[in-house]
Amino acid sequence: MVHRGYYGEFGGSFIPEVLFSSIEELADVFGQAREDPGFRAEYENILSTYSCRPTPLTFAENLTRYFGSARIYIKREDLNHTGAHKLNNVMGQGLLAKRMRKPRVIAETGAGQHGVATATMAARFGLQCTIYMGMVDMARQRPNVFWMERLGAEVVPVRDGTRLLKDAINEALRDWITNMDTTHYVLGTACGPHPFPEMVAWFQSIIGREAREQIMKYEGRLPTRVYACVGGGSNALGIFNAFFNDPVALVGVEAGGQGLYTGKHAARLSSRDGAVGVAHGYKGCFLQDRDGQMKQTHSVAAGLDYVGVSPVLASLKCKGRVRFEAATDEEVLKAFSLVVRKEGLVPALESAHAFAQAFKELPDLCGHDIILINQSGRGDKDIFTIADAFGDPGWQAFIKERAAEYDA
C-alpha cells in the first residue's frame, strides 16, 4: 500500500488502517473511470454545459504593450462556475462519489473557494455536504461561508490550532474515519494520500490540454514559459501537465508573504524553510521547525496559505523540471492593480502571484517570446483583503467586527 503512488521519494499513503478500504475503493473506482470513455465524456459534458469549458485564452494586449517584451496570454480559469479552477476537480470527484453510491461528501477549505465549489457540486448532484473551515479563514472569507450555507452545506468552524487550513484538514480526516461507509472526502488539491494527488491532477489537466491547443491555434508555436501560482499545486499541475514533454519552462509561484527572510510566508519549495516530512496522509515538503512541528504560514492570499505542497510538484522540483519562485504580498498587490487597470481583469490574489513573478521576469525575455499565465480564479472574494491592504479605514473596522463575531 505505502509503495504505491510515489513520485520520487514523495507521496505514498500514510493513513490510519481503518481508512485503507475506503482509499482502496477510491483508487479502484478512479482507475476504472479514467479508462472509461463514457466517464470522460460525462465529465467533459458536465463541465461544458454547467461550467464554462473550454475557458478562453486571452491575449493581454495592453500588458504586452506596457512591458514591451514577450507576448502575454492568460488562461481564464476565473470564468469557471464559482469563479476558479476548483470546479474541474470537484465535479469529477462528485461523479466518482455517485459511482461509489456515497450519499454524503465532506471537504476542508482555506480560501473558501473549494468549500463553495464542493457545496455547489453537492447541490447539483443531490448529496449531503459538510465543510470544515478554520475560524480565521471563516472571518477572512465571510461571503464564501454565506454562500456555502445557502447552498445547503453545513459549515463547521474549526477552533483548534492556528484555525487555518491545516487544522480543517485534520478535522475532515476525523469525520471521514467515523463516516467512511457513507461519505466521500472531496480533497481540494493535489495533496493527501494516494490516489488524491494523481486524481486531482488528472481532473485539472483539462486546463493544460485546452491551453496548449489554444496557443497553437493563435500563435502556431508553444509558449516560452508558463506561470502558475502554487497553493497545494492543483492549478499549476493542471496547466503544466500538457507541456512536460516540450521545451517549455514551467514556473510555480509560491506565497512569499512578508518576505522569505521574515519566516512569514508559505514558500515550501522556493525557500530553505521547507523540509521532508509526513503529514496529512503523504510524504512531502512541509514548513516545519526542527522538532517537526508544522510552522505558521502567512500569505495575503488565503488559498496559498498551506504548510504542505503536492508531492508531485516536490518531485518535479527535484528533477529540475519545474522552477519554483516566491512573490511577496507587496509584489502581488502591485501586480494585481496593474492587471485590473491595464486589462480590466480581476485576478484572485492567489493568481496575482503568477502575474507578479511573470512581471519580474519579463525584462529577461524578448518580443519573440510568449508567456502563458494561469489566472486560476477571480478576485471578487478578496474584496475585504484588498480594501484592507489599500488602507481603507471603513473596511478595516468592518473586517475587525466580523472577526470578533467568529471569536465569540
Q: Which residues are catalytic?
A: 86, 108, 376
Distance, in Å, from the CA atom of 54 to the CA atom of 47, rounded to the nearest integer, reads: 8
Q: Choose, by CB under 6 A, the member of 80, 82, 141, 189 that binds ligand PLP.
A: 189
By CB under 6 A, residue 234 contacts ligand PLP:
yes
Region for 68 from its dihedrals, namely left if φ exceeds 0, alpha if ψ lies in -120 to 50, beta otherwise: left
Cβ-closest residue to ligand PLP?
A: 377
CA nearest 168: which of 133, 128, 218, 194? 133
326/365 with CB nearer ligand PLP: 326
CB under 6 A: which stretch of 40-48, 231-239, 253-261, 291-299 binds ligand PLP? 231-239
Q: Residues 134, 192, 232, 274: which binds ligand PLP (CB under 6 A)?
A: 232
Phi-psi label, residue 371: left if phi above 0, alpha if psi -120 to 50, beta otherwise: beta
Nearer to ligand PLP, 111 or 199 (CB): 111
Count, residues near ligand PLP per rule CB under 6 A: 21
Q: CB-based burial of residue 366 (10 Å sphere; 0-12 exposed, 13-18 middle, 19+ buried)?
A: exposed
Torsion sign (Cα): 179, 185, 191, 194:
positive
The x, y and z cell numbers of residue 300, run together, are 495575503
- Binding to ligand PLP by residue 88, rule CB under 6 A? no
Residue from 241, 315, 376, 385 touching ligand PLP (CB under 6 A): that is 376
> SS3 breakdown of the chain: % helix, strand, coil, rounded to 5?
50, 20, 30
For the segment 285-344, give every residue that binds ligand PLP (CB under 6 A). Answer: 303-304
CA 148-149-152 angle, to 5 degrees, is 95
Cβ(236)–Cβ(314) below 8 Å: no
Is residue 235 a contact point for ligand PLP (CB under 6 A)? Answer: yes
Which of 183, 297, 315, 351 contacts ligand PLP by CB under 6 A?
Answer: 351
- Assess 231 for contact with ligand PLP (CB under 6 A): yes
- Least gap, CB of 286 to ligand PLP (angstroms): 15
Closest CA to 385 of 143, 85, 108, 117: 143
Distance CA 204, CA 48 (A): 14
- Nearest distance in Å: CB 344, ligand PLP: 18
State which of residues 53, 75, 86, 264 lies at the interface with ligand PLP (CB under 6 A).
86
Footprint of ligand PLP on 100-119 (CB under 6 A): 111, 113-114
Contacts of 100 (CB under 8 A, 6+ apart): 25, 26, 29, 184
Spell out, one character per residue from 38 to 57, where the chain touches ligand PLP: x when CB under 6 A holds, - when not: --------------------
Question: In this complex, which beta carbon is closest to ligand PLP, that of residue 281 or of residue 303?
Answer: 303
Q: Give the residues lining the site for ligand PLP (CB under 6 A).
A: 84, 86, 111, 113-114, 189, 229-236, 303-304, 348, 350-351, 376-377
